[in-house]
Amino acid sequence: MRKSILTGFVAFASLFASAQTIADVRNLGIGQTVTVSGVVTNGSELGNIRYIQDGTAAIPAFGSNLSSVQRGDSITATGVLFDFSGLLEISPTNSFTNHGPATLPTPLVVPLSAINESLEAQLVRVDNVTFTTSGNFATGNSTVQITDGITTLDLRVNGSTNIDGTAIPVGPQTIIALVGQFNTNYQLVPRNLNDIFAYVAPAKEINVKMNGTTVFSNGTYVVGNTTSTTITIENSGVQALTVSGTTLTGTNAADFSTTLTTATIPATGNQTFTLTFTPQGTGSRTAIISIANDDSDENPYIINLSAVGTDNLATEPTSNPTNLTFPLVKSYTVGGQYTAGTGAEKYIALWKNGSPITGAPVDGTNYKRGDVVGDARVAYVGNGTGFTPRGVIANQTYHFAVFAFNGTEGFENYKTTSPATGSVTSTGLNIGNYYNGINSSSPNFLTALSAKINPHTYVSYFNYKTTVMNLFEIKDTTNGQSYVTCAYSGERKVFNDPFDWTAVGYSREHTYSHSWMPTFPADEPSEKPEYSDQHNLYPTNLQNANTPRSNLPLDVITGNVVFTYLDCKVGYNSSNQMVFEPRPSQKGNAARAIMYMATCYNGIAGNNWQIPTNQSQDILKQWHENDPVDNYEIARQEFVFSTQGNRNPYIDSVDYACHVNFSNMTYNACSVGLPELLKSNFSVFPVPANNKVYAQVNGINITSYTVTDMTGRVISNKSNVELPVLELNASDFKAGVYILSVGTTYGEVQQQFIIE
């Protein structure tokens, strides 16, 4: 049975020779818009998802607009790369073109042990496996396990197929399925009952292992600098398999020799041989071993060999990539793309906030995302021509350098001269005309504001992980690991991807507590918009932050402290009331989340969303003013706006909170202190600066500005301007500290900035 990784796609691939391959797309960054072409390997039996496969790899596409696409259709689809609990997919699928029926790919025959990331979304076949349980498949979605006696793997039964509720087969089975992933577990996803049938042993079936690892026909095995490699020829058939000869061809075939010539492999047996590598030069050394045999559909069995010469390094690329551009620029993410270098297999993208990169990668060193390289960090490593770094926040200037390299782990050879370089500044608040018609001086202000932000797009509680966590909160650290910050305590929890709430010990904390909500208790609360609202949910350590907070009011602890974890604590306030106090940098964020929830859902179904009597609105408003919106919160606001389609008005405007009495949810005619308003909305960045200096008073135009040095001498000034964002050239100033004063129609505000 054929195990070639390119089976069945020669004709189809030629139709789309100019399109970007799925393998290329799988190496691009999350959030980038991509276009792929391939054959669809499932239909409506799995719902709104369609798995697309070409001659290089496969990827699922998700979207209700794909409902008309049938199994076997060839399509070209465009959409956004998205991580759904470990499964890389295109979601949403913005558009597609159906080219009509095509030849379905032959399922790749693999052992259970080979199911991993390299096969994700592909159509595969596993033989001679048994189910670990008996009885019937559960009704609806369920997961069972299969085993080959050595490896055990999850099999996911989709409730929309005709499999659920039927009898679980007994005895050895063959299963055809799509490779899925949920969190850290890979899964097989059969499409219907026809994908599960009794196993019939083949007459002759060849499988080849190199040093114990299965290598599919037409696949690549990395020899590296290993002198001797064990070749194992396996035969899972019921008749003896004959190997009639072996040839070594390719650029450096003379560097390789093997004891594998002719052999007879008995039924269900195996024999071992040796591949010897003796390099005759430096740089990359490649060859092809072709094994002639009498397996009916895998003759010859071809393996590409990749090794390095006497210098223990691959051949250096001829040139680095060029034309680095940034087609994706938001306050919460940026995406870079570049033109491929010449003679290059892979790329490493470095990034740094605030100034150009001066460091470079070192030959023979394997870097992972998040690692430190000189004065920068790794944003991306792979063979794609695009990247999306994790951890972008608003109003920052990020610098990038992209280097080409060749070679596998430990044998990398980097082209360190003339990398592709560039910089991009993430955006800030993008309020636009969102609040047109909202008048804080009107008695109808609260009603109008509530109507503006609700209704909005519902995003399920479950999808908080695949949206806010995977696309915004989770950041890179060294050695390819990730971390998430506990909003309450400031803890940075390091973990191995993909993120899983239980494994990490984190939870989605309702800042406006669930028990405070007028709709509490409720059947299936996670299906209610107020329970799942992303403006209100923050990641927190379950045992040490979420559980101690429970539904306690937020306040300043002045009395006895009964529990502390890093920068959060439980204790008693000045009224001898038990309260929870989050870390200082979360106080304003928490206050704005609570005020948002009270405003967003007030009046829905006749409910009054006033805050509980034990929660002081005075402390919330004080925190709102004393811990103003920072660039992290701006980025988070814009991200949630992109998913829910509504904004938190208390992030966009400091003075709105003054006009609401949150104790009874009524309008409050108050006078806002303009100096405080301007100060809390004024930002100057980056600090320090060596290229550009930006300044803005969120939502208010700058009409004039003056720059003075620390002696009071005027360096630069200008009047009669109307600028939402002021931009100054750092080259116009010497290194040092300066004071920037800006004028607005509401008054003047000033702040220091530093030039490196």
Kind plus residue range of the DSSP H or E element containing 23 = helix 22-25
Instruction: State the pLDDT at residue 234.
Output: 96
Name the strands in the sheet holding 682-685, side by side, starting at the edge strand that comes first in the sequence: 682-685, 692-697, 726-729
Q: List, for residues 316-369, the tens digit of each pLDDT value.
A: 999 999 999 999 999 999 999 999 999 999 999 999 999 999 999 999 999 999
Share above pLDDT 70 across residues of the chain, in percent, rounded to a whole number: 96
- Indicate the SS3 state at residue 448: helix
CATH 2.60.40.3080 is right for the domain spanning 674-755 = yes
Buried b or exposed e, range 669-685, using 16+ CB within 10 angstroms:
eeebeeeebbbbbbbbb
Q: How far is CA 4 from CA 270, 301, 303, in A?
A: 20, 8, 10
> What does the alpha-carbon distance between residue 32 and residue 337 come to, in Å, rounded to a whole number?
10
Asked if pLDDT for residue 295 goes beyond 80, the answer is yes
Residues of the chain with CATH 2.40.50.200: 10-101
Mean pLDDT of all residues belonging to the chain: 92
> What does the alpha-carbon distance between residue 554 and residue 643 come to, in Å, rounded to a whole number?
28
- Rounded (5°) CA angle 386-123-86: 50
HEC sequence for 396-416: CEEEEEEEEEECCCCCCEECC
What residue has token string 């507590």?
513
Q: Which pair of structure tokens corresponds to residue 550?
A: 């429970």
Asked if 290 contacts 284 with a C-beta cutoff of 8 angstroms, the reply is no
Q: How far is CA 428 from CA 154, 472, 632, in A?
A: 44, 15, 10
- Indicate the SS3 state at residue 276: strand
Average of pLDDT values for 71-84? 93
Asked if pLDDT for residue 747 goes beyond 80, the answer is no
Which one, of 382, 524, 388, 511, lies nearest residue 460 by Cα?
524
CATH 2.60.40.10 is right for the domain spanning 206-308 = yes
CATH 2.40.50.200 is right for the domain spanning 10-101 = yes
Instruction: State the pLDDT at residue 16.
Output: 31
List % helix, strand, coil for the chain (3-state, nearest 5): 20, 40, 45
What residue has token string 């923050």?
538
Average of pLDDT values for 507-513? 97
Residues of the chain with CATH 2.60.40.3080: 674-755
What residue has token string 């696949």?
219
Which of the four pLDDT bands, split at 50, 70 and 90, describes residue 28? confident
Residues of the chain with CATH 2.60.40.10: 206-308, 322-361+369-417
Strands (E), 474-627: 475-476, 482-485, 492-495, 506-510, 537-541, 561-565, 568-572, 578-581
Average of pLDDT values for 291-305? 96
Which one, of 186, 118, 185, 182, lies nearest residue 466 by Cα?
182
Q: Give CA 556 to chain center in angstroms.
A: 36
Residues of the chain with CATH 2.40.50.140: 108-198
Asked if pLDDT for residue 568 goes beyond 50, the answer is yes
> What does the alpha-carbon distance between residue 49 and residue 63 come to, in Å, rounded to a whole number?
7
Instruction: State the pLDDT at residue 675.
Output: 59
Strands 241-249 and 537-541 turn out to be unpaired
Asked if pLDDT for residue 5 goes beyond 60, the answer is no
Instruction: State the pLDDT at residue 387.
Output: 92
> What does the alpha-carbon distance between residue 527 and residue 464 come to, in Å, rounded to a whole number?
13
Contacts of 382 (CB under 8 A, 6+ apart): 27, 346, 347
Q: How far is CA 223 from CA 94, 255, 257, 316, 343, in A?
A: 42, 12, 13, 18, 20
108-198 CATH: 2.40.50.140
Instruction: State the pLDDT at residue 15.
Output: 31
The class that CATH gives domain 322-361+369-417 is mainly beta
Average of pLDDT values for 534-561? 97
Quote the pTM value. 0.81
- Indicate the SS3 state at residue 752: strand
On the 0-12 / 13-18 / 19+ scale of CB atoms within 10 A, 308 is: buried
Asked if 349 contacts 337 with a C-beta cutoff of 8 angstroms, the reply is no
Asked if 4 contacts 217 with a C-beta cutoff of 8 angstroms, the reply is yes
Contacts of 584 (CB under 8 A, 6+ apart): 567, 627
Residues 563-572: contacts with CB under 8 Å, at least 24 apart: 565/489, 565/491, 565/541, 566/486, 566/489, 566/490, 566/491, 567/488, 567/489, 567/490, 568/488, 568/489, 568/490
Share above pLDDT 90 across residues of the chain, in percent, rounded to a whole number: 79
Strands 173-182 and 73-84 turn out to be unpaired
Any idea which of 18-32, 322-336, 358-372, 695-709 has the lowest mean pLDDT? 18-32
**What letter represents residue 667's amino acid?**
Y
Which one, of 286, 321, 290, lies nearest residue 407 by Cα?
286
Q: Which pair of structure tokens corresponds to residue 41?
A: 């390997």
Evaluated on CA atoms 472, 477, 480, 484, the torsion sign reads: negative
Q: Which pair of structure tokens corresponds to residue 528?
A: 């209610």
Asked if pLDDT for residue 703 goes beyond 50, the answer is yes
Q: List, for residues 583-623, the tens digit of each pLDDT value.
A: 999 999 999 999 999 999 999 999 999 999 999 999 999 99
Asked if residue 190 has a cis previous peptide bond (ω within 30° of 0), the answer is no
Which one, of 569, 397, 428, 430, lies nearest residue 488 by Cα?
569
Q: How far is CA 451 from CA 430, 603, 604, 651, 664, in A?
A: 20, 10, 10, 17, 18
- Indicate the SS3 state at residue 133: coil
Which of the four pLDDT bands, split at 50, 70 and 90, describes residue 674? low
DSSP per residue, 235-266: E-SSS-EEEEEEEEESTTGGGEEES-SSEEEP
Instruction: State the pLDDT at residue 305.
Output: 98
The greatest distance separating any two alpha carbons of the chain, rounded to the nearest whole angstrom, comes to 94
Q: List, for residues 164-187, the tens digit of each pLDDT value.
A: 999 999 999 999 999 999 888 999
Residues facing residue 206 across a β-bridge: 235
Q: List, for residues 175-233, the tens digit of each pLDDT value.
A: 999 999 988 899 999 999 999 999 999 999 999 999 999 999 999 999 999 999 999 99
Asked if 220 contacts 303 with a C-beta cutoff of 8 angstroms, the reply is yes
On the 0-12 / 13-18 / 19+ scale of CB atoms within 10 A, 639 is: buried
